[in-house]
Structure formats: structure tokens, C-alpha cells
């Protein structure tokens, strides 16, 4: 006879099901870590938020059917996995501008058209996903596992390989636990892990970034000062020679500190003069909400800047422009939609 489906878990026919009450608070307790999991799966901060909300809704609807054969955590991850796989079928693989083509000359005419939001890996606000811990090892593990380059590399993996890699390598699940979640064998999980590692190694997705050092706080203060004064010469001096700048939803990206400096004084980019930066954090990196002067007064949202820093220099400037989703981008970081003058 066919199995029953209880709380999203198959139960052999004839099994006596003992229901264990699950409260909404039990489900909500896992929202942060589920957000990180769904983000790694989907590559979009917006979609991760939607996926977690759908997971909570499905779990709450099935709460009375949870019989306690697995932990609440495992049960929720099974639901979240199914949600992410379903959502992943509906969109193309997300990428960064650096994956779309070669670097462009530092001229505004190369910007090209705005591409749809679903083309891009978008940022993850750390406030809703980072572990609530002061353990340096856990913090470092989180930061490394949500960096933009790594999350982009994950999108190259088939969904089940992605699940296996995230759960085993990032969240430190045992292969047997993942096998149970995926309704497969331990051998199959280990095979998926081997193929996933090979794929990431081939595209450079296994490279671990440098940690942010305490002295880098001075660098960030200098960056904010230079950007707000629009002192391009000083700003360029803070960049690594091979630094890059990207600006989703434009496919254009620029490589080299000198070229970034040239681009920023082009007519369009120079409209950033007089901007205000508000600090935030995204993808385990320092980030800023950039507000440009508003012709109607005050300051309007323009970009979430996610900076990558190494060896005392800024190596990457990821500018996620508000065009991506004007109604959600800044609010997702808890940032206002307008600043008074």
C-alpha cells in the first residue's frame, strides 16, 4: 500500500502516528538559519525571504501532523528544501556581472540595458541570517559561506548536489542525515558531494576569502569619507590595483582601480557626488546604503554597496542598484526609502 504523508514526511502504511504539538514559536526559532540555507540555495535575498515565509506557512499548516520521528529542525529543512527546489525550477541560474562577459572600458556608453532582477545573485542582509553567536569560528564559517562569489558558484550545481553540499560542508550535517532528508542513500549523498566539490573547484568556488581585520575599520572610515566627499583620487588609493566594480542590474563591470576612478567621473556616475552612506552588513561583508541627492529635496536610495576587503585594500565594489527592486531592496536592510536634507 502507499505511504501516508504526515508533516511532509512519508510514513509507512500501518505505522501508529503519535502527534507531537509544534508551536509557531518552535518554527520561528529557525527562521534565521533557514534564511541562510534558502539564500545559498536560491542566490537571492528576496527569494530567500519568500522561501522561508512559504516554509513557515507550510509547516504551520502541517503542525498538527508532526509526529516527532525527526527533530523539528530536520522537518523544517525538508520543507525548505522542497520549497527551494520548486522555486528554482521557475528561474534561470543567477549570476554576477563577472560571469556574463569580460570587463568593459570605463565609459558610460558601455552600460547597456537594465536586465531583469532574476538574472542576478542579489545581496543577503546579515541582520536576518547571521548566527546569533559571538563564537569566532561560527561567525567566520557563516561569512565564508554567504560571500557573493561562493553563492554564485553554488548556482552552478544541480539542486540536490547543492542541498548535499550546503548541509554537509556548511551546516555540518552527517551524510546519513542528508540521505534521510533527500530520501536517498548515504552512498548517493557522498557521490553528490564528490561531484559538487569537483564542479566548484573547476570554477574557483572553493576559494575561501580573507577575514576582515580590526584595522580594516579604519579603511572603511576612509572609504566613506572619500566617497561622500567624492574625492576620487583618494578613493582610488584605497582600492587594490585589480579591484572590480559591478552594478547589477547592468551587466557592465569594470576591472582595475584606475579604470574605476575614470568611470566614476563619467557624467552619469558623477551624479553620485554628494551621496550619503549609511552602514549595514551583507553577505558577511561591510556594506552601505548609498543615497544620492534627490532633486525634490533630501536623499533618495541609489545602491546597496557590498565591499570586499583583503590585505588592507578594497578588492571588490558590488553596487546593487535600487532598480533591482525599489520597493524591497532598501527595506530588506532596514534602511529608509528617503532621507531628509
| CATH number for the domain that contains residue 45 | 1.20.140.160
Write out the DSSP string of 213-280.
Answer: PTTHHHHHHHHHHHHHHT-HHHHHHTEEEEEEEE-TTB--EEESHHHHHHHTTSTTGGGGTT-EEEEE
> Are 220 and 183 in a shared domain?
no
The pTM of the full predicted model, rounded to 2 decimals, is: 0.89
Distances (CA, A) of 319 to 124, 179, 307: 13, 39, 9
> Are 151 and 195 in a shared domain?
yes
Last residue of a domain, one of 203, 233, 249: 203
Comparing 26-30, 263-267, 268-272, 286-290, which segment has the lowest mean pLDDT?
26-30
> Are 317 and 270 in a shared domain?
yes
In a domain, 29, yes or no: yes
In a domain, 100, yes or no: no
Q: Which of 291, 36, 239, 22 is nearest to 154 (CA)?
A: 36
- Give 118-155 pLDDT, tens digit per residue: 899 999 999 999 988 878 888 889 999 999 999 999 99
Last residue of a domain, one of 203, 238, 266: 203
pLDDT at 14 over 60: no
**Which residues span the domain enclosing 276?**
216-332
Residue 231's CATH number: 3.10.450.50
> Are 137 and 240 in a shared domain?
no
- CB 316 within 8 Å of CB 103: no
> Are 147 and 269 in a shared domain?
no
Cα–Cα distance for residue pair 177/165, rounded to 1 Å: 13
Cα–Cα distance for residue pair 207/220, rounded to 1 Å: 24
In a domain, 266, yes or no: yes
- Give 317-340 pLDDT, tens digit per residue: 999 999 999 999 999 999 999 999
In a domain, 210, yes or no: no
Last residue of a domain, one of 203, 231, 251: 203
In a domain, 341, yes or no: no
In a domain, 151, yes or no: yes
- Give 143-202 pLDDT, tens digit per residue: 999 999 999 999 999 999 999 999 999 999 999 999 999 999 999 999 999 999 999 988
pLDDT at residue 16 in the model: 38
Amino acid at each position: 500500500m502507499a505511504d501516508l504523508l504526515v508533516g511532509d514526511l512519508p510514513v509507512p502504511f500501518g505505522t501508529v502516528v503519535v502527534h507531537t504539538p509544534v508551536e509557531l514559536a518552535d518554527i520561528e526559532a529557525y527562521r534565521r538559519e533557514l534564511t541562510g540555507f534558502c539564500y545559498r540555495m536560491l542566490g537571492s535575498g528576496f527569494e530567500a525571504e519568500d522561501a522561508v515565509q512559504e516554509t513557515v506557512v507550510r509547516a504551520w499548516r502541517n503542525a498538527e501532523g508532526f509526529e516527532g520521528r525527526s527533530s523539528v529542525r530536520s522537518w523544517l529543512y525538508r520543507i525548505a528544501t522542497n520549497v527551494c527546489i520548486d522555486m528554482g525550477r521557475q528561474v534561470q541560474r543567477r549570476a554576477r556581472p563577472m560571469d556574463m562577459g569580460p570587463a568593459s572600458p570605463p565609459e558610460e556608453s558601455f552600460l547597456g540595458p537594465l536586465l531583469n532582477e532574476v538574472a542576478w545573485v542579489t545581496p543577503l542582509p546579515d541582520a536576518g541570517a547571521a548566527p546569533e553567536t559571538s563564537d569566532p569560528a561560527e561567525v567566520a564559517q557563516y561569512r565564508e559561506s554567504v560571500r557573493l562569489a561562493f553563492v554564485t558558484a553554488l548556482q552552478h550545481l544541480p539542486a540536490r548536489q547543492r542541498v548535499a553540499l550546503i548541509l554537509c560542508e556548511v551546516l555540518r550535517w552527517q551524510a546519513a542525515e542528508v540521505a534521510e532528508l533527500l530520501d536517498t542513500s548515504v552512498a548517493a549523498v557522498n557521490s553528490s558531494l564528490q561531484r559538487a566539490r569537483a564542479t566548484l573547484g573547476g570554477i574557483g568556488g572553493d576559494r575561501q576569502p580573507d577575514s576582515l581585520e580590526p584595522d580594516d575599520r579604519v579603511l572603511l572610515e576612509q572609504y566613506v569619507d572619500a566617497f561622500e566627499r567624492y574625492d576620487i583620487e583618494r578613493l582610488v588609493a584605497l582600492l587594490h590595483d585589480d579591484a572590480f566594480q559591478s552594478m547589477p542590474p547592468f551587466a557592465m563591470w569594470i576591472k582595475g582601480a584606475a579604470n574605476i576612478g575614470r568611470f566614476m567621473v563619467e557624467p552619469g556616475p558623477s551624479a553620485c557626488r554628494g551621496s550619503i552612506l549609511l552602514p549595514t552588513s551583507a553577505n558577511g561583508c561591510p556594506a552601505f546604503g548609498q543615497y544620492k541627492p534627490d532633486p525634490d529635496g533630501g536623499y533618495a536610495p541609489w545602491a546597496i554597496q557590498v565591499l570586499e576587503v583583503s590585505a588592507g585594500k578594497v578588492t571588490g565594489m558590488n553596487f546593487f542598484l535600487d532598480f533591482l527592486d525599489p520597493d524591497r531592496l532598501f527595506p530588506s536592510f532596514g534602511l529608509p526609502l528617503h532621507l531628509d536634507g
